[in-house]
Amino acid sequence: MGPGPEEMMNNKNIVIVVICVAALMGWSAFVNWLYPPVPKQARPVLPLTATSGPPVAVTHTVARIAPAPPVAPPDDHAPEQVVTLQNDFVRVAITSRGGGIQSVELLKHRANGHGHVVLNGAAGAPALALKDDRANYTVEQVGSREVVLRGPVTKRLTLGAEYLLTGCIEFGGATTQAVPVVVGTAVPADLVKEGEAFLGVDWLARAKFQNRELKHARKGPGREETPARWVAVKSQFFTMILTPATNAVAVAYQPTVMAPPPNWKAKEPPHGLTAVAELPANATGRYEFTFYAGPKDYTRLSALGQGQEDVLQFGMWSVVSVILLKSMNFCYRLIPNYGVAIILITIAIKIVFWPIQAKSIQSMKAMQKFQPLMAKLKEKYKDDPQRMNAEMMKLYKEHKINPFSGCLPMLVQIPVFFALFAMLRSAIELRGTSFLWVKDLSQPDTVGHLFGLPINPLPLIMTGAMIWQQKITPTVGDPQQAKMMMFMPLMMLFFFYNASSGLALYWTVQQLLSIGQQWWSLRREDHNVTVIPPAKP
């Protein structure tokens, strides 16, 4: 008895899929071998349960603050004092009001307008301040990278390498309730271009990533009791992450209304998102932590060693996203232009999936030649669907045609597409990077406006390429289904029109390569398909 429809995915197709997957894995291993990842910090994984005992020791050391001599309480009416800690990557402004980080200026990242990107600059509460603490601390700067703040509590902050600070908070005795520490306030680096959709509060609880977006906070301030290994606030490309020595016992978040910029057109003012990590009470009253304030860079975040790279939020296809990200950076090292790098990984993806696409084109070509016979079978057995299906399957078997192979390339590429989408939407590497007429690969490639609407060439070129591909694709199957597929380019135009130009560039190049492959394949002489009339009943 011949194979049924469920057996049409023959062994040859399965082997092709396995080879493609193996090629992707092999490429990832090659990139890792050529450019080994930065070693993670030697820091023990702490138990994911909140504890009330002393903090667990960590490998980074923070000098214990010597008991301060008795001083008068800070004068809350004294003028604010701001000191600066700086290295080659950040300039950290620390304020005496609340005793925390007023702002972090990222010296390697330009703002879309002018100057550098500033984190927490528009916030009401300083990062690392105790919630609702409005005291005016005394500030003692110890060198260019260390500061001590004395007030209701004593804090020491030390600026380390790149975007990392270490510090501690001392109460001078046991604490009897949770200590709420402000993580920071996330706002888009550009309120007009980047928008609020990417704002989020993230944390890791029991090895599971958790996320709350601004839309959750708009409903009202939230608080969730959870053993958080770290707590982060983030925008599309940047993040601030507090990693305490012991797990937080709760995470709180709330929206923050921001002052609108001069070119703000929306009715509602822009919003930020503020997060607070509640640290557990303990017998010593001492809390150690690390604080990261910088770009959402996969290499740097994964080197922190506690899963902080999850703030990139690659989703279920994270393994593929990481492979694509490393591949893109590898290509950039060869040719230092990220537009070219995207084109190169698109070509690499096309090479990997070439056999599947070729098999699909061959099958569609064969199916097209059999359309007259299939039409006769449908007409002959229109009153006997079961017999008609049996004859169809017999025809497919005799001529080794797989009716499902046309869907195979799309199904296999779905994980790659979604993984690439997740990677490119927040890839700090693309921010501010130009290519041809594209000024910023992380934004739409707008070249002008017509009747108030943006003109984005890449999605328009992509749509034209999709229509062209449909014109040269063999017509098979149900005519109604073919009519539905005609609307696919318009759907993709709607989806890609305001997407990042990096993603639009990938899909445009992918479509052009597919057209080239299809044009070449359809002109090959196929000697394997011979039309044989169906057997008489």
pLDDT band at 53 (very low <50, low <70, confident <90, very high): very low
pLDDT band at 141 (very low <50, low <70, confident <90, very high): confident
Which helix H or strand E contains 366, and what residues bound it? helix 338-369
Domain range 83-297, CATH architecture: Distorted Sandwich (2.70)
Mean of pLDDT over the chain: 78
Q: Which of 409, 387, 412, 401 shows the shortest CA–CA distance to 477?
A: 401
Half-sphere exposure of residue 23: CA atoms within 13 angstroms, side-chain side: 14
Taking the domains of the chain in order of start, what are their residue ranges?
Answer: 5-34+333-522, 83-297
How far is it, in rounded angstroms, from Cα 249 to Cα 323? 34
How far is it, in rounded angstroms, from Cα 93 to Cα 184? 13
- How many percent of the chain have pLDDT more than 90? 33
Task: For 319-336, write each residue's pLDDT tens digit.
Answer: 889 999 999 999 999 999
Task: Decide if pLDDT at 420 tops 80.
Answer: yes
Task: For 164-210, write each residue's pLDDT tens digit.
Answer: 999 999 998 888 999 999 999 988 877 666 777 889 999 999 889 98
pTM of the predicted structure, to 2 decimals: 0.77
pLDDT band at 479 (very low <50, low <70, confident <90, very high): low
The CB density around residue 144, as the number of other CB atoms within 10 Å, is 11
pLDDT at 522: 67
Q: What is the mean pLDDT of residues 343-365?
A: 81
Task: For 275-314, write each residue's pLDDT tens digit.
Answer: 999 999 999 999 999 999 999 999 999 999 999 999 998 8
